Homo-oligomer: A and B are copies of this chain.
Amino acid sequence: MQGYQPPIADYRFLLGEVLGFESAMSELGQETDLDLAMAVLDEAGRFCADILQPISREGDEVGSRIVDGAVVTPPGYSDAYRSFAEGGWAALSASPDHGGQGLPFILQLWFDEMMSAANLSFGLFPGLTRGACEAIAAHASDELKAIWLEPMVTGEWTGAMALTESGAGTDLALLKTKAEPNGDGSFAVTGTKIFISSGDHDFGCNIVHLVLARLPDAPSGVKGISLFLVPKFLPDSEGGFTVRNTMSVGALEKKMGIHAQPTCVMNYDGATGWLVGEPHRGLAAMFTMMNAERLMVGIQGLGIAGGAYQQAVGYARERLQGRSADGARGPVPILEHADVRRMLLQIRAFVESGRALAGWTALQMDRARQHPDASVRAEADAVVALLTPVVKAGFTDFGFESAVHAQQVFGGHGYIREWGMEQFVRDARIAQIYEGTNGVQAMDLVSRKLTLGGGSVVAGFLDMVEADLAAAQAHPHAEQVARQTGAALQILRDTTASLQGADIDAAGSAAVDYLRMFSLVAMGWMWARMAAAAGSGSEQHMAKLAVARYFAERMLPQVDALAKAIGSGPEAVAQLALEAF
């Protein structure tokens, strides 16, 4: 495989010319300027290219294994993790209150993009730790925070989220793990959890599990679930953490992909833990974790698409086959064949607009946390909530499709493991499933997010997009994509109105198509903004305009078909009798 090339020039374009990064920072009183941001991204990109990508292929082949009851990660992972933590990469965007560097979240999210492009399995270790930190910071007592938070934020320790049980995945009401008071403020947690990413490893540090369980007096259903902090190593009497908790890895899941990532079956045998947040309010704490994770998972789709694109372009330049379109030259690089370019453009039109949308969303997250005006914070928070399922599901669907396209460029070699392309496909597939399947995300968007603020959140978002598109139309080079996206936006508005307050069957039959429509319009919005900024005639700007055109002419038309499918109503999904499936 070729080395990974971090998309530094594109980041600079987005920060400097599209997203108004510096003014957004100054609005928040943040000191990070463009140069600092680029320096961080540059260094982060180098870490991904030099340390993470070179161990990814072997990580897939060797996989994480269990040796003597403990997880052994593939060659290089433990060292890479040490470099990661020592380099300060774990704490990039975390609050300085907890040992973080307090850098803008956009740098975190794009670092996540590069990590996912270089090594998805690795990225899950810090990614899940971050989610766990968010939940602890938001819900745990000061006493717990004082002990556990900083070593997790700095990456000295890692975190894991233990939610799923074999009979309880999407529907957590069914979970059975119990927590009984020990009488000293701690609890004894007992149960078996499955699909626990980073549940154990050999990085030589503590692992803090956040475990959903039921208290003895818990009501049934989701209103009886509490969250517990259950560490692999408990505090000893000397201030160290050397006492092995009664929890163990029962097995590693044998998976389609992300082989280097130890996805554990975890047994908690009266393991000592502490309640995080209120009793029976574990779900709220869990959603704090989940929302952070969901954005990150969306970015995984984006990262894989970008990484796979680079490999496919490299191959398409080197692989000689067939003749030039005029028949005069041959064999020519397959990049000259229109269908190969089409596959590559299909990926790139997603990657660059997705990268922009991720950046825009990250800036809103910083506003939601740091803006001096509470109403601005609330507004930004709401728009992030609206976009979270779009990013999670939209990006991972397009990300998987992108990996498949990139693999296809390789022809038969794409199917052979050593070329690395089929690994992208296998790894990308999980992102459509975990942290809430994409069907669940789509239902979240339609049933919950469209009615936020009585519908005012989505209306406000669409108004803003419309205004941006109108502004972009004033630029001749952006006119086409802005106008065509504007037409798609009207369709999205009508479809949105038709689904607000829809019953559960109507919502469920439309949700996935609707989320895809929403994603396409959001991508078009970003293409219009990028095209508006790309009028200089530089090579980079010319390329933006060419890909914007591809998006407008070849991808955006899907919106029409989705509208027609949704517009036909839910009956087509309901008509076949259950027993006739």
Binding site for B on A (CB under 8 A): 164, 167, 169-171, 173-174, 194-195, 253-257, 313, 316-317, 320-322, 325, 330-331, 335-345, 348, 400, 404, 407-408, 411-412, 414-418, 422, 425-426, 429-430, 432-434, 437-439, 442-443, 503-509, 511-512, 539, 542-543, 545-547, 549-550, 552-555, 557-562, 564-565, 568-578, 580-581
Contacts and interface: CB of A to CB of B under 8 A. Distances in A.
A505 B539 contact: no
A407 B313 CA distance: 29
Nearest to A563: B557
A580 B543 contact: yes
B550 A572 contact: yes
Contacts of A581: 313, 316-317, 335, 341, 344, 348
Instruction: Pick the 5 closest A-B CB pairs, nearest first.
Output: A338-B508, A553-B568, A256-B422, A557-B564, A561-B561
How many subunits of this chain does the assembly comprise? 2
A153 to B, nearest CB: 28
Nearest to A172: B321
Given A415-B255, A417-B254, A576-B341, A565 B561 contact: no
Contact of A339 (B167, B345, B408, B512): B512
Given A338-B508, A339-B442, A573-B338, A321 B565 contact: no
A191 B102 CA distance: 61
Contacts of A257: 415
A322 B171 contact: yes
Contacts of A345: 572-573, 576
Contact of A254 (B194, B338, B418): B418
A408 B438 contact: yes
A489 to B, nearest CB: 17
A507 B325 CA distance: 10
A10 to B, nearest CB: 12
A254 B547 CA distance: 35
Given A254-B417, A422-B426, A426-B426, 6 more contacts: A170-B322, A342-B508, A342-B509, A342-B512, A408-B437, A425-B429
A169 B407 CA distance: 15
Contact of A549 (B167, B169, B417, B575): B575
B411 A169 contact: yes
Contact of A335 (B542, B558, B570, B578): B578
Contact of A546 (B331, B550, B575): B575
A350 to B, nearest CB: 15
A544 to B, nearest CB: 10
A562 B341 CA distance: 17
Nearest to A540: B580
A554 B572 contact: yes
A433 B405 CA distance: 11
A569 B552 CA distance: 12
Nearest to A340: B439
30 contacts: A169-B321, A169-B412, A254-B417, A317-B581, A325-B503, A338-B505, A338-B507, A339-B511, A341-B576, A342-B509, A342-B512, A345-B572, A345-B576, A408-B433, A408-B437, A411-B437, A415-B429, A415-B433, A539-B580, A543-B577, A543-B580, A546-B575, A549-B571, A549-B572, A549-B575, A550-B572, A552-B572, A554-B565, A554-B573, A557-B560
Contacts of A341: 509, 573-574, 576, 581
A416 B433 CA distance: 11
Among A416, A504, A561, A577: residue with most chain B CB under 10 A: A561
Contacts of A507: 338
A317 to B, nearest CB: 8
Contacts of A559: 561
A503 B325 CA distance: 8
Contacts of A571: 549
Contact of A171 (B321, B504, B542): B321
A218 B234 CA distance: 77
A558 B321 CA distance: 32
